[in-house]
Amino acid sequence: MNLPYPDAEAAIAMPPARLAGALLADLFSRYPNVLFHRGNELGALQDRHGLEMANALAEAWAWLERECLIVHSTTNHDAGVFRVSRAGAVAANPAAFEEFFESTLVRREMLHPLIANRAWDLYLSRDYDTAVFAAFKALEISVAQRSRCEGTGVPLMRAAFHKVSGPLRDPAMTDGEAEGVSNLFAGAFGVIRNTAGHKYVTYDGPTEPAEMLIVASHLMRMLDRLYEDWKLRHPFDVESSNGA
């Protein structure tokens, strides 16, 4: 059984996710449209390369299952019968697997729920520029609704978080801290959101747009905290708003 590894020692040293790329390439090269059996595959590996190698491949196999790159057969219901999934077929070459691996470095659970609801499916489909724009649009709408300020983009952020007059400013902050919050929101919209909204953006891979989704999520969580503080300071305004 030929495997795309330099040798057993190097394969054993790989983390499961990295070894999974080599295992997927090997499985797809031999079984592009054919079912295969986990026990048979791992048993053959143990016979050829020893127990330690087989144990390492079993961990890599589990990673492939978790990411749905290999899945249980729907035509043969015997335990342990698998096929390469549609996503696995796409990711079976080294360059494609590297992009897929990078996309797994951020998880939906890491994102603010509202950002995830608006942008995650777009991100998974590799529509990265639209995902980034959708994330910051969701943030922009939330800032507008909670601050009741007019405008969009950078002017809205400056108004909502102004260190003196901003409705979402935190009075407990120093002027420098409040100015920093205003700069943080305005800068993110000036650099990330405006670029995504007004230009065609091409990303080299999933890492950079994932970082931008995390930025949007962090700002959304900051907004949540600032708005909760505002509600504690303005209970009558909250009641009036809820009754409107």
Q: Which residues contact 127 (CB under 8 A, 6 or more apart)?
A: none
More confident residue, 111 or 54: 111
What per-residue confidence (pLDDT) applies to 241?
A: 54
Q: Is the pLDDT of residue 199 over 80?
A: no
What per-residue confidence (pLDDT) applies to 244?
A: 39
| 69-83, 94-108, 183-197: segment of lowest average pLDDT | 183-197
CB of 35 within 8 A of CB of 82?
yes
Q: State how far the Cα of 156 lies from the Cα of 142, in Å rounded to an integer.
A: 11
> Which secondary structure element, helix H or strand E, spans residue 2, and what is its range?
none
Q: Which of 227, 155, 167, 224 is nearest to 193 (CA)?
A: 155
Domain chopping of the chain, boundaries:
8-103, 108-243
pTM for the whole structure: 0.75
More confident residue, 69 or 1: 69
